[in-house]
Amino acid sequence: MVNFQFRIMQADDLEEVLITETSSHLTPWKELHFLDCIDSNYWNYVLVDCNAPFALIGHCVVMPGFEEAHLLNITIHPDYRRLGIAKKALQAIEQTCIERNFGRILLEVRQSNVEAVSLYQAVGFQQVGIRKGYYPLPLTHQQNAREDAIVMQKTLTTKIDLS
Ligand SMILES: CC(C)(COP(=O)(O)OP(=O)(O)OC[C@H]1O[C@@H](n2cnc3c(N)ncnc32)[C@H](O)[C@@H]1OP(=O)(O)O)[C@@H](O)C(=O)NCCC(=O)NCCS
């Protein structure tokens, strides 16, 4: 198991973040997307390998909302996959959400992304809908072709405040 920790994403991280992002998604986020999330004070994290502290092994972005959080991005560097890192990262995000009394986490995932759907199912997310044509497809696909998103959510057991 790789020991890793969360660190708040800085603009300086983006060169490295974009390498992982670009090698991982059909239509990767651009620098501007990450900068917008940093400006908006979302929960923007890089995952750092504790045994190689300067190595960024993944990143995630969560948009906190009113009583719910929206997972916008979770990406693990290809060399670090299937080691349980995303699962552990999602559990940590979930814990933070529970501490803030959020009732659920929502996300969208490409219908074709079986790896990610398996991951989300493995940590207890359930499909609650489909967003038709939500995702663009790369230019190599048919012109203007788009892909549906599966909407998934996990309901959280919120802390009861006895004070
Ligand atoms: C999806 C992704 C984040 C998974 O990260 P990961 O750290 O490799 O996942 P984990 O090792 O924590 O896997 C946890 C569970 O998810 C499922 N899973 C993960 N990758 C899988 C794969 N390639 N095939 C099938 N199931 C998979 C399994 O149930 C796995 O448990 P197991 O290894 O005990 O069988 C990673 O593949 C990735 O970065 N993909 C590209 C970016 C992406 O698609 N992000 C999600 C966008 S919505």
CB of 151 closer than 6 A to ligand 1? no
Give the ligand 1 atom nearest the CA of 82. 11
Tell me: pLDDT of 163 over 60: no
What domains can you pick out in the chain, each with its CATH number? 4-155 (3.40.630.30)
DSSP output for 20-83: HHHTT-SSPPPHHHHHHHHHTT-EEEEEEETTSTT-EEEEEEEEE-SSEEEEEEEEE-GGGTTS
Q: Please write the tens of the pLDDT for every residue from 90-135.
A: 999 999 999 999 999 999 999 999 999 999 999 999 999 999 999 9
* Structure-model confidence comparison of residues 53 and 26, the more confident one: 26
Phi and psi for 38 in degrees, rounded to 5? -65, -45
Over range 21-31, report the average pLDDT: 97
In this structure, the number of other CB atoms found within 10 A of the CB of residue 22 comes to: 12
CB of 158 closer than 6 A to ligand 1? no
CB of 38 closer than 6 A to ligand 1? no
Tell me: pLDDT of 143 over 90: no
CB of 82 closer than 6 A to ligand 1? yes
CB of 46 closer than 6 A to ligand 1? no
pTM to 2 decimal places = 0.95
CB of 2 closer than 6 A to ligand 1? no
- Report how far ligand 1's centroid is from the alpha carbon of 91 (Å): 14
Give the ligand 1 atom nearest the CA of 87. 12
